[in-house]
């Protein structure tokens, strides 16, 4: 069977003072069979042009053929949910679960109390807001490992197995469970924190092989476009090069 990888990214030039900057609007990616390429492509363009972040003036669509034998099939992480009354409560849940994941992973939080861990994550999260990719944070050394800090690391080449769906609208949950499953299986990854940067989507999640995929129903206020992703990584378990290579190159289909 022939498979194709499809990637779309859309952006807009914004004027800040006298400087023109490219602002990211929307991105999507799929791995589909040959018959679906055209329809999925069309749906991607529709999605880019109807995004809540604004109208793009640049859309890039990339189509690549990939070999079926290069694709790894992964079972989706099990899903649970946490209902909360406020964004603050949601964030506190996230920090607590992440700390559990870090501890359970055998990584010693060298005398790092939960308050310190939380304060640290809060500060890191703020730094992710302008990024298009994720922060790769080494819990062993307390350093960031992204080669390009402004951009971050992007997980690519992934989709749900047997997805023939051609939908111009983004399904946040479906895309997130696919990404989170791939990320949780990358060498050295301990856990992930995610908050959407879409202003009208307040549900986020934390995920890891031990936690599964935990949806946290509110992690920010409505109309807030500050979102981001942090991949917690342990450099004692794998090298950053190996991890980034997996995130950016390994083709993955996730069985939901």
* CA pair distance 54, 106, nearest whole angstrom: 44
Q: Report DSSP state, residue 148.
A: S
Binds ligand WAQ by CB under 6 A, chosen from 194, 207, 244, 254:
194
Pick the closest to residue 154 from 47, 43, 250, 219 (CA basis). 250
Q: Binders of ligand WAQ among 108-167, rule CB under 6 A? A: 128, 131-134, 152, 154-155
- Please, which residue, 127 or 225, has the CB nearer to Mg ion? 225
Q: Is 223 helix (H, G, I), strand (E, B) or coil?
A: coil
Please report whether residue 203 would count as binding ligand WAQ according to CB under 6 A. Answer: yes
User: Which of the stretches 39-47, 85-93, 169-177, 236-244 binds ligand WAQ when contact is defined by CB under 6 A?
Assistant: 169-177
φ and ψ of 215, to 5 deg: -75, 130
- Please, which residue, 6 or 131, has the CB nearer to ligand WAQ? 131
Separation in Å, CA 242 to CA 107, 161, 188, 245 = 19, 24, 9, 5
Q: Binders of ligand WAQ among 220-249, rule CB under 6 A? A: 227-229
Binds ligand WAQ by CB under 6 A, chosen from 138, 146, 197, 224:
197
Pick the closest to residue 134 from 230, 208, 207, 227 (CA basis). 230
Chain positions contacting Mg ion, by CB under 5 A: 197-198
Nearest-CB residue for ligand WAQ: 196
φ and ψ of 132, to 5 deg: -90, -25
Q: Summarize as ranges the residues that interact with ligand WAQ (CB under 6 A).
A: 128, 131-134, 152, 154-155, 172-173, 176, 179, 194, 196-198, 201, 203-205, 215, 227-229
């Amino acid at each position: 069977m022939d498979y194709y990888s499809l990637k779309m990214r859309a952006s807009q030039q914004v004027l800040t003072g006298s400087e023109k900057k490219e602002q990211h609007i929307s991105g999507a990616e799929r791995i589909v069979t040959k018959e679906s390429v055209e329809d999925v492509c069309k749906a991607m363009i529709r999605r880019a042009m109807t995004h809540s972040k604004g109208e793009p003036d640049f859309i890039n669509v990339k189509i690549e053929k990939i070999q079926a034998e290069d694709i790894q099939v992964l079972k989706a992480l099990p899903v649970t949910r946490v209902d909360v009354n406020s964004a603050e409560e949601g964030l506190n849940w996230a920090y607590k679960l992440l700390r559990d994941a870090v501890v359970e992973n055998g990584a010693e939080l060298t005398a790092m109390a939960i308050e310190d861990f939380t304060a640290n994550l809060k500060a890191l999260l703020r730094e992710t807001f302008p990024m298009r990719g994720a922060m790769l944070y080494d819990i062993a050394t307390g350093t960031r490992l992204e080669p390009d800090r402004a951009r971050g690391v992007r997980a690519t080449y992934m989709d749900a197995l047997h997805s023939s769906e051609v939908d111009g609208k983004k399904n946040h949950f479906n895309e997130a469970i696919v990404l989170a499953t791939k990320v949780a299986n990358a060498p050295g990854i301990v856990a992930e924190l995610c908050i959407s940067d879409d202003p009208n989507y307040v549900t986020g999640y934390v995920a890891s092989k031990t936690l599964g995929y935990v949806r946290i129903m509110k992690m920010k206020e409505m109309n807030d476009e500050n979102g981001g992703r942090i991949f917690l990584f342990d450099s004692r378990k794998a090298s950053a090069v190996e991890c980034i290579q997996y995130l950016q190159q390994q083709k993955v289909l996730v069985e939901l």
